[in-house]
């Protein structure tokens, strides 16, 4: 109990402490001591990571207090939560260390680190939440605490993006809350279940049709966070304006909250209840549309960070597609892709950040010859890109394999074949929008002025996190078994 609690409370308190202690000075006050700030933030990140890893092995759930009668704030560690918090505990500190170097050229560092830690704590709470109302609480708090990361640089564009993010998320969360009210009436309790659903049998027979609507609204609502069409527009606006390490966290971790939410909702309703209904069909349609559209938009986007954000839209719907198919194989694929995409996208965004930091280049066509200047960064970028496309032996391959397999075995008419086809097309598009960067980066062509090249490799503090993330993305492709075991446990509800 104390482990779970401290993995949540420690980063939140540390974040608040940083916000108060190192707040941006007013005119006339002495500037923030940058060294101690980074030291504090670094220590807090490491301590939190240790807490979280220890908490992963916690067995028993506990109720913190009652928000209202029969609305307990309840925490529990289960397998699904473990996977998501594993992702967070690796990506967030990595990107955090990256930002110690990166944030040198931005202002208001204390605010950044403060909210960064808050996000970490809230996301842990989200992973460990044991019932819908706790989940909802931290879902809202996640939006609130991650918004300052989006509008960090304070430009008008960033503030508008932050507000857009806020409104989309709030709309989504409200739609979800709408569903929670009905679930509350029709379920015995709001505690999460994984496969069998918590609906009362009488509720299904009496107003099953209405409950389907509720399920759909909830999926749409939580889908907002995961950037699902038609509520995806905030994502390509909000992610790129944040500082690069923050975009990495936003794209790799925070959007996964939407996925986690979807898994929880599916668990509450039970896959048996939703299988074969119009909800499943509609949901499959939406995810496939998003997969295709996201890739296409990414393909046409000239700004690297925006391109990566569109790619996030597309890749997240891979995961949602796997969930929508609703069988064990595709579920495994989805969860694997959660991890794979998390590592890969974080690595890619950090690479983009390193490029911006060293060269100030943001557009793809400016990046010719970049591989000669920053070889380590671009090698990582290339390997991660291959992973995202799904070329063996990277993590992306395994997850997409399971997704396609699950879809083919599902026996849903039309979609069982259409799904893999669209996944393949989208993979081709992914290759189309990521690989040119590596190709032109390493082989700028005969007409390129090689004389202007300089060594621009960033320092170890930046390359190490990128390398670690890239390495992990390959590792889960080579040794997926351990994770598959955990996922199997998750799929069967333990």
Partner 1 sequence: MNFICNFPFFSILLSLFSGTICSVLPAKAAKVVNRVVIIVIGLMSAVLLLYLLSTGESFIYWMGHFPAPWGNEIRAGVLEAGMALFFCIIMYLSMAGGAHKLPGEVVESKHNLYYILVNLLLSSLLALVYTNDMFTAYVFVEINTISACGLIMIRQVGRTIEAAVRYMIMSLLGSGLLLFGLCIMYDLTGHLLMSNIKESVGLLIANGEYQIPLIVSVALMCIGLCIKSALFPFHAWLPDAYGYSTVSSAAILSSLVSKGYIFLLIKIIYRVIGFDIFNSTRIIDVLFVFGLMGMIFGSLSAIKENDIRRMIAFSSVAQIGYIYMGFGMGTQAGMVASIFHILSHAATKSLLFIAAIGLTDVSGGSHKFIDLTGAAYRNKWAGAAFTVGSLSMVGIPLFSGFISKLLFAQAAVQVEGKMLASLIVLGISTVLNAVYFMKTVIRIYAYAPDAPYKGITFRDMKAYAVVLVCFILLNVILGVSSQPIVDMIGQGLAMFA
Token pair for 102: 């990166």
CB of 187 to partner 1, least distance (A): 13
CB of 273 to partner 1, least distance (A): 20
For partner 1, the closer CB: 24 or 492: 24
Please check whether residue 420 is in contact with residue 321, taking contact to mean a CB–CB distance below 8 angstroms: no
d(Cα 197, Cα 215) in Å, to the nearest integer?
12
CB of 245 to partner 1, least distance (A): 20
d(Cα 257, Cα 87) in Å, to the nearest integer?
11
Token pair for 301: 């986007």
Please check whether residue 461 is in contact with residue 101, taking contact to mean a CB–CB distance below 8 angstroms: yes
- Where on the chain is the footprint of partner 1 (CB under 8 A)? 23-24, 26-27, 65-69, 71, 107-108, 133, 136-137, 140-141, 144, 147, 151, 154, 159, 162-163, 166-167, 170-171, 174-175, 177-178, 181-182, 184-185
CB-side exposure of 470: number of CA atoms within 13 Å?
22
Residue that the structure tokens 């390359």 belong to:
463
Burial (Cβ within 10 Å: 0-12, 13-18, ≥19) of residue 20: exposed
CB of 169 to partner 1, least distance (A): 10
Phi, psi (rounded to 5 degrees) for 196:
-85, -10
For partner 1, the closer CB: 27 or 35: 27
CB of 448 to partner 1, least distance (A): 42
Burial (Cβ within 10 Å: 0-12, 13-18, ≥19) of residue 120: buried
CB of 336 to partner 1, least distance (A): 32
- 3-class DSSP assignment, residue 103: helix
For partner 1, the closer CB: 68 or 482: 68
For partner 1, the closer CB: 207 or 361: 207
For partner 1, the closer CB: 69 or 452: 69
For partner 1, the closer CB: 130 or 390: 130
Cross-strand pairs, 281: none
Contacts of residue 414, Cβ cutoff 8 Å, sequence gap at least 6: none
Residue that the structure tokens 């998390």 belong to:
342
For partner 1, the closer CB: 269 or 292: 269
For partner 1, the closer CB: 65 or 481: 65
CB of 315 to partner 1, least distance (A): 28
From the list 291, 303, 318, 293, the residue with the least C-alpha distance to 244 is 303
CB of 178 to partner 1, least distance (A): 6
């Amino acid at each position: 109990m104390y482990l779970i609690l401290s993995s949540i409370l420690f980063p939140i308190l540390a974040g608040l402490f940083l916000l108060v202690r190192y707040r941006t000075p007013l005119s006339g006050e002495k500037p923030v001591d940058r060294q101690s700030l980074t030291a504090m933030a670094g220590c807090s990140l490491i301590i939190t990571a240790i807490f979280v890893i220890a908490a992963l092995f916690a067995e028993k759930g506990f109720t913190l207090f009652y928000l209202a009668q029969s609305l307990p704030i309840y925490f529990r560690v289960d397998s699904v939560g473990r996977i998501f918090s594993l992702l967070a505990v690796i990506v967030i500190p990595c990107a955090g260390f990256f930002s110690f170097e990166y944030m040198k050229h931005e202002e208001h560092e204390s605010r950044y680190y403060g909210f960064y830690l808050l996000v970490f704590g809230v996301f842990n709470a989200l992973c460990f939440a044991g019932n819908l109302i706790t989940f909802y609480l931290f879902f809202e708090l996640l939006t609130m605490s991650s918004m300052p990361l989006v509008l960090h640089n304070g430009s008008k564009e960033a503030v508008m993006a932050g507000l857009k993010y806020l409104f989309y998320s709030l709309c989504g969360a409200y739609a979800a809350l709408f569903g929670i009210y009905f679930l509350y009436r029709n379920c015995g309790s709001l505690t999460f279940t994984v496969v069998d659903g918590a609906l009362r049998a009488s509720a299904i027979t009496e107003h099953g049709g209405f409950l389907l609507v509720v399920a759909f609204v909830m999926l749409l609502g939580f889908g907002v966070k995961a950037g699902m069409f038609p509520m995806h527009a905030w994502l390509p606006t909000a992610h790129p304006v944040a500082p690069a390490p923050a975009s990495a966290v936003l794209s790799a971790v925070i959007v996964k909250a939407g996925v986690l939410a979807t898994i929880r909702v599916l668990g509450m309703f039970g896959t048996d209840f939703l299988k074969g209904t119009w909800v499943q069909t509609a949901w499959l349609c939406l995810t496939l549309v998003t997969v295709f559209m996201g890739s296409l938009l990414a393909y046409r986007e000239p700004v690297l960070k925006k391109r990566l954000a569109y790619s996030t839209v597309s890749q997240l719907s891979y995961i949602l597609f796997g969930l929508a198919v609703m069988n064990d194989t595709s579920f495994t694929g989805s969860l694997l892709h959660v991890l794979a995409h998390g590592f890969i996208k974080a690595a890619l965004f950090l690479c983009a950040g390193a490029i911006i930091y060293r060269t100030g280049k943001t557009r793809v066509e400016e990046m010719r010859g970049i591989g000669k200047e920053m070889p380590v960064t671009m090698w990582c970028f290339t390997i991660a890109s291959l992973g995202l496309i799904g070329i063996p032996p990277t993590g992306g391959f395994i997850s997409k394999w399971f997704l396609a397999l699950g879809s083919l075995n599902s026996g849903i008419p039309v979609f069982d074949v259409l799904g893999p086809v669209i996944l393949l097309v989208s993979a081709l598009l992914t290759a189309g929008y990521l690989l040119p960067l590596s190709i032109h980066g390493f082989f700028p062509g005969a007409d390129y002025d090689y004389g202007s090249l300089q060594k621009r490799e960033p320092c170890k503090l930046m390359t190490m996190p990128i390398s670690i993330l890239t390495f992990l993305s390959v590792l889960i492709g080579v040794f997926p078994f351990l994770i598959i075991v955990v996922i199997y446990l998750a799929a069967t509800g333990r």
